[in-house]
A and B are shown apart, each in its own frame.
Chain A
Amino acid sequence: MSPMQQDDEDSVFHAQARAAFDASVAAMDGSTRSKLNQARQRALGATRRADRWLPRAWVPAGAMASVAVVGLAVFLALPSMSHHGADGLALEDTEILTASEGIDLYAEDPEFFEWAGGTVESQAPAAAVDHG
């Protein structure tokens, strides 16, 4: 038998096998079809349940809400930080740390420097008005 003849005969056999299989599928009884239908509905129900609890459905909304909250917090915090800088307290600390006298000088009489600092702060607004 030539290879081509064998291929042809195999094709005929496959077609017959397929026809026999299709006939057996078509002859399936109603009860089995109904059970298959119920099984399919269960499978589709499992899809819906899996999707309902899928966390990623909430990811875009959650991410946007988080960004908005962080942005709002930064926005509200910014003015108080800049106000703190205007008082010059942070600048004063820097000056003390970088002063050539050394920190020992401030340690000798801390009450004096505390009093002096208070005096300067209470006079500063008045001086600003005078210069204005």
Chain B
Amino acid sequence: MSATLSAAFLAVPERAAAMNAGRTEGILDQSRAMDRFLADVERRALRIAEIAVRDRDDALDIVQDAMIQLASRYVDRPEEEWRALFYRILRNRIYDWQRRRKVRGRVIAWWTGGVATDDDEAPDLIESAPSPDAGPDARLESGQAMRQLEAALSRLPARQAEAFMLRSFEGLDVAETARAMGCSEGSVKTHHFRATQALRAELGEHWP
């Protein structure tokens, strides 16, 4: 019995070392997979956040927070769930930012006696106006088409804009979009359809 126990006792460090080695390898694989995933989505996520908050530095902070939260809390979750999780976190961060901004705007408005100081201004119509000379490809490349689309998106209800960006820009399917938005698939279809109709009506037939 003592020999068995001694052998078992002596085998503990070896087994622990083997398990740790396996786990370390697993952690490295997960870390590499997370790096690839974040590298794949970061620029698109930044543009989506930027469209929502209209400030690149704030959008960078929001995307960084979302990346840190995903990497530190959900790295163990299956890789195919990461996209919906990441966009859910990003969406929550954007809403938090918008809430803080609204409160700050109210405080500043009260402090300055009701003078509007919120720089949530309407997009520059001259800048976003289509150039009659440029063709669709040139307008796409110059960013003019996107500026017009962003201006139109900013006038949509938040849920519609969100559904449109996740489905049409990021290419999430209906189920992933529903998970990211925390609503039913039916709601996603409705929001996306209404957003499409509103954007087409606003941008006109000649867009881009």
A-side residues, CB < 8 A to B, are 9-10, 13-14, 16-21, 23-25, 27-28, 32-33, 35-36, 39-40, 42-44, 46-51, 57, 60-61, 64-65, 68, 71-72, 75
Contacts and interface: CB of A to CB of B under 8 A. Distances in A.
Which of under 10, 10 to 19, 20 to 34, or 35 or more describes the interface residues of B?
Answer: 35 or more
B16 A68 contact: no
A47 B34 CA distance: 9
B63 A36 contact: yes
A126 to B, nearest CB: 34
Interface in B128-144: 136, 140-141, 143
B200 A35 contact: no
Contacts of B146: 20-21, 23-24
B110 to A, nearest CB: 35
B163 to A, nearest CB: 12
A19 B171 CA distance: 12
B168 A18 contact: yes
- Among A13, A21, A57, chain B packs the most CB atoms within 10 A around the CB of A21
Interface stretch (B64-72, B99-107, B175-183): B64-72
B205 to A, nearest CB: 9
B185 to A, nearest CB: 18
Nearest to A76: B2
A65 B8 CA distance: 10
Contacts of B67: 39-40, 42-43
